[in-house]
């Protein structure tokens, strides 16, 4: 009996710890509510172009609802719809290295990836550092490389955490010295979902509790008889 109780207790502890350590699952598209840049738009681009175009969905073939639209399906089917210098582009003026763009979310949110749509040409974003913050100093989440002419979505994953602000710190573009331009930016909001093995341990744990309760009731009934 003591052995059975010990096994059940171990199953419960394991299932609870498994829930807490469940990996982040694919989630929903989360859009930034505001964006700022270290400098203005590169000269030579049309005047309607602004850094806000990086979050207004003006350069995409479909629109998302922040916090609702499925991230995986949206990023696999939505491409950039733009032509060089049209007003859907946004970015930051040079010098290239050290320039940055900050994206603010509406609330602290668990985020596990950034998705970006690039443009074609020498001014398009190539390599960048991604930094995140939740009210404190920025911390480095990773260094990533984009493809030139990236009409499809380009998704970059990092260790999921709670963030309210991100910084895209530009390292290189494809050769334009006046600044860096790309199309759209959004994020993946994720949540912890137990894997099948975790569900199995949970069921085992709860079944064990039920079995112990059943045995205890039977013993009590036998003693009372």
Q: Which letter does DSSP use for residue 51 in this model? A: G
Residues 105/30, Cβ–Cβ less than 8 Å: yes
Residues 189/67, Cβ–Cβ less than 8 Å: yes
Element (H, E) at 190: strand 184-192
Measured CA distances, 182 to 116, 188, 218 (Å) = 8, 19, 70
Query: 123 is written with which tokens?
Result: 């001014």
What's the mean pLDDT in 144-158? Answer: 90
Contacts 24+ apart (CB under 8 A), 192-200: 192/19, 192/22, 192/23, 192/24, 192/25, 193/22, 193/23, 193/25, 194/18, 194/19, 194/22, 195/22, 195/23, 197/18, 198/15, 198/18, 198/19, 198/22
What's the mean pLDDT in 73-102? Answer: 79
Higher per-residue pLDDT: 22 or 132: 132
- Which residues lie closer than 8 Å to 215 by C-beta, 6 or more apart? 1, 4
Quick one: pLDDT at residue 213? 61
Residues 153/72, Cβ–Cβ less than 8 Å: no
Maximum Cα–Cα distance across the chain: 94
pLDDT at 194 over 90: no
Kindly indicate the confidence band of residue 136, based on its pLDDT and cuts at 50, 70 and 90.
very high
Kindly indicate the confidence band of residue 81, based on its pLDDT and cuts at 50, 70 and 90.
confident
Distance CA 24, CA 189 (A): 9
Q: Among 64-78, 119-133, 149-163, 209-223, whose mean pLDDT is lowest?
A: 209-223
Query: 39 is written with which tokens?
Result: 């400098």
């Amino acid at each position: 009996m003591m052995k059975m109780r010990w096994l059940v207790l171990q199953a419960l502890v394991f299932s609870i710890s498994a829930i807490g350590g469940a990996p982040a699952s694919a989630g929903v598209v989360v859009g930034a509510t505001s964006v700022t840049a270290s400098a203005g738009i590169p000269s030579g681009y049309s005047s309607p172009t602004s850094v806000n175009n990086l979050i207004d969905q003006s350069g995409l073939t479909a629109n998302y609802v922040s916090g609702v639209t499925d991230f995986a399906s949206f990023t696999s089917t939505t491409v950039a719809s733009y032509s060089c210098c049209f007003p859907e582009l946004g970015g930051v003026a040079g010098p290239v290295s050290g320039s940055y763009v900050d994206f603010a979310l509406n609330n602290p949110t668990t985020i596990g990836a950034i998705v970006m749509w690039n443009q074609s040409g020498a001014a398009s974003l190539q390599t960048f550092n991604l930094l995140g913050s939740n009210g404190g100093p920025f911390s480095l989440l990773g260094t990533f490389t984009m493809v030139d002419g990236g009409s499809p979505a380009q998704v970059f994953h990092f260790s999921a955490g709670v963030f309210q602000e991100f910084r895209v710190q530009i390292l290189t573009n494809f050769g334009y010295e006046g600044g860096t331009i790309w199309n759209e930016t959004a994020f993946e909001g994720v949540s912890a979902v137990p894997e099948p093995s975790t569900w199995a341990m949970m069921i085992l744990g709860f079944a064990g509790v039920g079995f112990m309760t059943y045995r205890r009731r039977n013993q009590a009934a036998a003693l009372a008889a």
